[in-house]
Amino acid sequence: MTCHNCRTECKRRGKDRKGHQRYQCRQCRKFFQEPREKPLEGMYTPLDKAEHILSLLVEGCSINTIERVAGVHHTTILKLLVLVGEKCAAIFGRLVANVPVTDVQCDEIWGYVQKKESHKYPWEADDNSVGDAYCFVAIDRKTTLILNFALGRRDQKTTDAFIEGLRQATAPQRFQITTDGFGPYVSAITTTLSDRCDFAQLIKVYASPREGEARYSPADVVEALPKPIMGDPDRVKICTSHVERQNLTIRMQMRRMTRLTNAFSKKWENLWAAYCVHFAWYNFVRRHQSLRMTPAMAAGITDHMWTMRAA
């Protein structure tokens, strides 16, 4: 090794706390280390270690669990999550586009950032980066491919952005779309997808709470009423069971979405990145037992199963 300043030969002088070799210049007596590779845009984490961390993330491990198992600081894990989440969002937007579909189901899954909506302080009432965070998800019933997702409030603005993204993801051919009874879907779909879809809603009627019912006990569904909204939807296909099953997969594979735990997201960008990584892994990497392949292969987007490093 030679010194960067005086270009003289250096001698070894111990190692740092992480085991990296240190050098000292014989002339100017300065200490330095030899250049290290940065395979992940400024991060020193090796690719093998990063792949291991991401594998633990998509399998439902918490940040603190990964810190203990992998021996990596939690800030490094979160930085890696955000970095990979941005790349996954770009991959998702580039490849999941103009996909031929026949039966699409949409639903929203509830989560929160920092605190629940009812626990916000008065001065946080207008801060949309804190509180409830709903993820809108669209899934193809035949291939179980995630066509689009959007994270935001449960309002008309997020619904419009979600349906606009769904239009970009689907091919310009006729298909049927089914949602729950959420009102903003009607104006969003009839405005954006009126030229290519038959639209229906499945409205669920819930029973009144029973006496002595626990706080987190779900209400009983008394009846599910199919309601055609636009076009000529097939009443047999008016169903949201597949996308609701996808909600269970999200809560099982994303630790920050597990109910009644302290593993919730503290930052909005971390929650968004976690969703991007999960859906990219779900579409391109995970082998589904019912399909015996990935959803991307079933939809004809790719011809092979991806690995975490390839993704």
114 pLDDT more than 90:
yes
Query: Same domain, yes or no, for 96 and 71?
Result: yes
pLDDT at 260 over 90: no
Whether the per-residue pLDDT at 145 is higher than 90: the answer is: yes
**Tens-digit pLDDT profile for residues 194-235:** 999 999 999 988 877 666 556 666 677 888 899 999 999 999
Lowest mean pLDDT among 96-105, 248-257, 269-278, 302-311: 302-311
Q: Are residues 73 and 196 in the same domain?
A: yes
Task: State whether 170 and 288 are in the same domain.
Answer: yes
What confidence score (pLDDT) does residue 61 get? 94
Q: Are residues 28 and 74 part of one domain?
A: no
pLDDT at 254 over 70: yes
Q: Distance (Å, rounded) from C-alpha 195 to C-alpha 158?
A: 21
Q: Percent of the chain scored above 70 by pLDDT?
A: 95
Query: What integer best gives the mean pLDDT of the chain?
Result: 90
263 in a structural domain: yes
Contact 27, 7 (CB under 8 A): no
Within this chain, do residues 163 and 31 fall inside the same structural domain, yes or no?
A: no
| Same-domain pairing of 58 and 28 | no
Tell me the two tokens of residue 85. Answer: 């989440």
Residue 4 sits in which domain range? 1-36
Distance from CA of residue 211 to its chain's centroid?
Answer: 38
The answer to whether residue 151 sits within a structural domain is yes
With beta carbons less than 8 A apart as the criterion, state whether 248 and 109 touch.
no
The arithmetic mean of pLDDT across residues 263-286, rounded, is 95
144 conformational bin, left if phi > 0, alpha if psi -120 to 50, beta if neither: left
pLDDT one-digit tens code per residue, 116-142 = 999 999 999 899 999 999 999 999 999
On whether both 112 and 180 belong to a single domain, the answer is yes
Per cent of the chain over pLDDT 90 is: 71
Q: What is the pTM of this model?
A: 0.87
Please indicate, yes or no, if residue 12 is contained in any of the structural domains: yes
Asked if 64 and 200 sit in the same domain, the reply is yes
Instruction: Establish if 44 belongs to a structural domain.
Output: no
CATH number at residue 164: 3.30.420
Do 99 and 301 touch, CB atoms closer than 8 A? yes
Would 267 be classed as within a structural domain?
A: yes
Q: How confident is the model at residue 109 (pLDDT cuts 50, 70, 90)?
A: very high
Looking at the fold, whether 164 and 197 belong to one and the same domain comes out as: yes
Does 42 map to a domain? no
Report yes or no on 114 lying in a domain.
yes
Q: How many domains does the chain have?
A: 2
State both tokens at 199: 């639209």
| Same structural domain, 67 and 176 | yes
- In whole angstroms, what is the distance from residue 132 CA to residue 268 CA? 10
Q: Considering only CA atoms, which of 171, 55, 48, 160 is closest in space to residue 104?
A: 171
My answer on whether 12 and 99 are in the same domain is no
Same domain for 116 and 169? Answer: yes
